[in-house]
Amino acid sequence: MSSHSKHILTIRLSAMGDVAIAVPVICTLLKTHSNLKVTVLTKPQFKVLFDFLPQVHVVCAEVKTKHKGLGGLYQLSRELKTLNLTEVADLHNVIRSKVLKFFLRLQGIKVKTINKGRTEKKALTRTNRKVFKPLKPTINRYADVFRNIGIALDMNQPECLPKQELKSSIKSDLEFDPSKTYLGIAPFAAHDGKVYPADLMQEVIKKLSQNKSLNIYLFGGGKLEMSRLHNWEKPYKNVYCIAGRYDFKTELCLISNLDAMLSMDSGNGHLAAMFAVKVFTIWGQTHPHAGFAPLGQTKDQQFLPDRSIFPLLPTSIYGNKEVEGYQNVMRTIDPNDVADKISKQLFPKNH
């Protein structure tokens, strides 16, 4: 007889940031309820996010191969049946998860699903009759799913992943020095509507790099981003391009050792937040009111476009929609303000 009172399948297939948001929820869940067993269903590339939680079992959804289509999802449900699940917490609520849940219900498994707040998000981003108000944070929407299963969960004091040990060779390679402060910068995002203009980001890096007590690590992926970041690091001795240098798990270990991360409204901010790293974000077509601000972030760590000039913001939840004339909203965010605010929080004695 298992000592676990419940075995919960937690579904979040993608995207990276959304999967990362689930990590502190599961950390808090397991700390609060040590007798729970948790299995996570996600895509293979995100399995590494749960490598730091050895008590969590991960099942990879191979949605492009053996778990593709209706037949593939049925096969996945048969594989999951062998795990003796008692409940399903669907944190995704998309067609794939709905089909899978149908099969799992036939096995007698209880299912609860996230309320994404689609209607209120539409009201927040529409151009006519916009309702501009803060919506429930995504992390609380995730927690609500577990509460609806009947599990008490207090996210006012969330549990995060601990700092990870870095190999001595990597510390040497990146000139880690206990006397220095470490800042990560992730200047890219999936959609252009969330990316701070390159010339302005270079100004931020230039100003921050003048502080020789600060090491700056640039994160990105793909050939174009890597090429750009390598060019950005060249003028400075304390700026390092991380893109393409290490595997993903090593990058995560590095992120866990940062004092802060500057990111767009993108997955990198949530990767840092799952290690309780301070996160600064620059916003464009999206807005923190939609509920995607990183865990623990305060308003003074957010850089927002001027809504007196661009009152229709936010125009999108994901940054994939732009309104005519709104292409340059992020140019209302002064790079000097970004650098100064980060410096004041990282080096308060200097200000």
pLDDT digits (tens, 9 = 90+) for 142-193: 999 999 999 999 999 999 999 999 999 999 999 999 899 999 999 999 999 9
For residue 301, give the nearest of 275, 349, 262 by alpha carbon: 262
Residue 160 in domain: no
Question: What pTM was estimated for this model as a whole?
Answer: 0.97
| 1 confidence band (pLDDT: 50, 70, 90) | very low
Q: Domain of 114?
A: 6-149
Same domain, 317 and 232: yes
Same domain, 62 and 145: yes
Q: What is the CATH number of the domain that holds 59?
A: 3.40.50.2000
Same domain, 172 and 138: no
Check residue 209 and give its pLDDT.
98
Same domain, 180 and 284: yes
Residue 218 in domain: yes
Residue 25 in domain: yes
**Is the confidence at residue 136, as pLDDT, over 90?**
yes
In total, how many domains does the chain have? 2
Same domain, 275 and 304: yes
pLDDT single digits (tens) 7-45: 999 999 999 999 999 999 999 999 999 999 999 999 999
DSSP state of 212: T
Same domain, 135 and 254: no
Check residue 3 and give its pLDDT.
57
Check residue 230 and give its pLDDT.
97
| 141 confidence band (pLDDT: 50, 70, 90) | very high
Residues 282 and 10: their CA atoms lie apart, in Å, by 30
Q: DSSP readout, 135-190?
A: PPPHHHHHHHHHHHHT----TTS---PPPPPPPHHHHHHTT--TTSEEEEEE---S
Residue 219 in domain: yes
Same domain, 12 and 93: yes
Same domain, 76 and 222: no
Same domain, 132 and 257: no
Mean pLDDT of 307-336: 96
